[in-house]
Amino acid sequence: MLQQKYYEEPFLKTFQTTITSKKRDNGQYHLVLAQTIFYPTGGGQPHDTGFINHVPVVDVYEEDDLIYHVVERDIEEQQVLCEIDFNRRLYHMEHHTGQHLLSAVFLDEYGYSTEGFHLGTEYCTIDITTSHLGEEKQKVVEDKVNAFIRETIPITSYIVSPKELELLPMRKAPSVSEDIRIVEIADLDYSPCCGTHLTNTGQIGLLKIIKTEKYKGMTRVYFVCGTKALSDYVDKHSIITQLSTLFSTPESELLTRISSEMEQKRGLELELRKLQEEMLEYKARDIVTENPSSFVSFDWDQGSIEDAQHLASNIMNLGPDTVLIGVGDRLILTHDGTEDFHCGNFIKEHALPRGGRGGGSAQSAQVFFSDAEAKNKFKSYIETIFRSQTHTEKQ
Ligand SMILES: [Zn+2]
């Protein structure tokens, strides 16, 4: 295909060419150019974006040996200026070439071959044939890859016939009947590939494995390269610097410092819980002393719903059999089970007709009201019933 200028000069950012054909589809225009610097989606690498005569190119695809450039509006001129989003292209090349190198080193060092490759916008992944990749192996591979990067090994690409392919030291030769494009990292890796690549390993700059996870019996390795690896470092450095200031601790001691802070926090939480429980016991005693009755009712906004339920059970341990507590927009009704009374049924029967929503078990129920006045009215209603009648009558 003569169209593929991006193979001859993968670093070309702008290019003058001509439109050779055009078709209209769904309000968009699909242009074919005499030659193009726009890479079409394929081989795991996303398409380039950019402009043709300042009109945005939203998609690039290959069909029947032609490369189509999708633009949102018609371009009348035949002579056009193409401009690609070079940062996007460079990101793709850094990661695609980085992937070839990383896959080659995993195979050479440990015999793990690459079964999957995904080039995302934030990172790149490969799936390698091992169910467990230890930290040590990961470091060996990462160090080796970065050593090859520093060696600035030349990268070339060429088309070979099936016969010529047999003579190449391919790790896994594809069975093809047609000519095929090979990307070679000199003497190190020969891969069949249709992507755009850097011209030497040094241009990858840096490769960092950022995490690994188990994936369908294999290991998925996440990594970043080049400019993305630098921006990842910049972001992480900024976070570490801020943490270091926040904890007034040198970076090297941050981990120990945060671990001990967390341990201290857990201890304080336990201590606080203990004190809260003691406080709820004192509170229960105060309430029962002030209201020596089998039914106790009050408002309480000093704790959570769980605390209120805890407080109610402390109160019942001291004698009263029924407790009504107003907490925010709801009421909690609890009963100690000594009589045939069902809190949930009581709420359903009496609160629902008065605009409340709720329910619960025999010994504990809750009811919500959307306005405070209705809640207070219902609270007074329950108080009247419980203070004037026996429980059996309340049912
Ligand atoms: Zn490739």
Write the CATH number for 215: 3.30.980.10
Q: For residues 193 and 43, is the Cβ–Cβ distance under 8 A?
A: yes
Same-domain pairing of 284 and 192: no
Quick one: 196 and 282 in the same domain? no
Under DSSP, is residue 379 helix (H, G, I), strand (E, B) or coil?
helix
| Domain CATH code at residue 378 | 3.10.310.30
Domain count for the chain:
3
Distance 100 CA to ligand 1 centre (A): 6
CATH number at residue 72: 2.40.30.130
Residue 199 Cα to ligand 1 middle (Å): 14
User: How does DSSP assign 207-226, residue by residue?
Assistant: EEEEEEEEETTEEEEEEEEH
Mind listing the pLDDT tens digit for each residue in 140-181? 999 999 999 999 999 999 999 999 999 999 987 788 899 999
Q: Which residues are CB-contacts of 64 (< 8 A; sequence separation ≥ 6)?
A: none
Asked if residue 227 and residue 114 are part of one domain, the reply reads yes
| Distance from chain centroid for Cα 201 | 30
Residue 180 lies in a domain: yes
d(CA 149, CA 97): 11
Name which residue leads in pLDDT, 67 or 353.
67
* Domain final residue pick, 26, 58, 84: 84
How many angstroms does the Cα of residue 192 sit away from the middle of ligand 1? 7
Same domain, 197 and 299: no
What is the domain range of residue 13?
Answer: 5-84
Placement of tokens 């990961």 in the chain: 138
Residue 339 has pLDDT above 90, yes or no: no
CA distance 46 to 85: 13
> Of 28, 31, 48, which is closest to residue 40 (Cα–Cα)?
48
Listed residue (83, 90, 85, 43) closest to 62, CA to CA: 43
Structural contact between residues 14 and 83, judged by C-beta atoms closer than 8 angstroms: yes
β-bridge partners, 331: 326, 367
Determine the pLDDT at residue 389.
65
Same domain flag for 164 and 32: no
Please state, for a pLDDT cut of 90, what percent of the chain lies above it. 88
* Predicted local distance difference test score (pLDDT) of residue 301: 87
| Amino acid letter, 10 | P
- Note whether residue 253 is domain-resident: no
Q: List the structure tokens of 60.
A: 């690039």
Q: What is the average per-residue pLDDT within 199-219? A: 97
Q: Is residue 261 part of a domain?
A: no
The whole-angstrom separation of Cα 82 and Cα 176 is 34
Whether residue 222 lies inside any domain: the answer is yes
**Cα 72 to middle of ligand 1, angstroms:** 30
Residue 135 Cα to ligand 1 midpoint, Å, equals 26
Ligand 1 is an ion; residues with CB less than 5 A from it: 193, 195
pLDDT tens per residue, range 256-281: 999 999 999 999 999 999 999 999 99
pLDDT single digits (tens) 29-86? 999 999 999 999 999 999 999 999 999 999 999 999 999 999 999 999 999 999 999 9
- pTM given for the model: 0.78
Residue 354 binned pLDDT confidence (cut-offs 50, 70, 90): confident
Q: Separation of 69 CA from ligand 1 center, angstroms?
A: 22
67 is a domain residue: yes
Q: Specify if 115 maps to a domain.
A: yes
| Cα 319 to ligand 1 centroid, rounded to whole Å | 78
Q: Which of 49, 84, 119 is a domain's end point?
A: 84
Kindly give the distance from the C-alpha atom of residue 168 to the centroid of ligand 1, in angstroms, as a whole number: 17
Looking at the fold, whether 316 and 177 belong to one and the same domain comes out as: no
Instruction: Report the side by side order of strands in the sheet with 322-327.
Output: 295-299, 322-327, 330-335, 364-368, 357-360
Query: What separation in angstroms does the CA of 171 have from each of 97, 114, 175?
Result: 17, 11, 13
Task: Assess whether 212 and 114 both reside in one domain.
Answer: yes
Same domain (yes/no): 95, 200: yes
Measured CA to CA, the distance from residue 384 to residue 365 in angstroms comes to 18
Whether residues 205 and 281 share a domain: the answer is no
Cα of 191 vs centre of ligand 1, distance in Å, is: 7
Same domain, 124 and 207: yes
The answer on 228 and 174 residing in a single domain is yes
Confidence grade of residue 392 (pLDDT, cut at 50, 70, 90):
very low
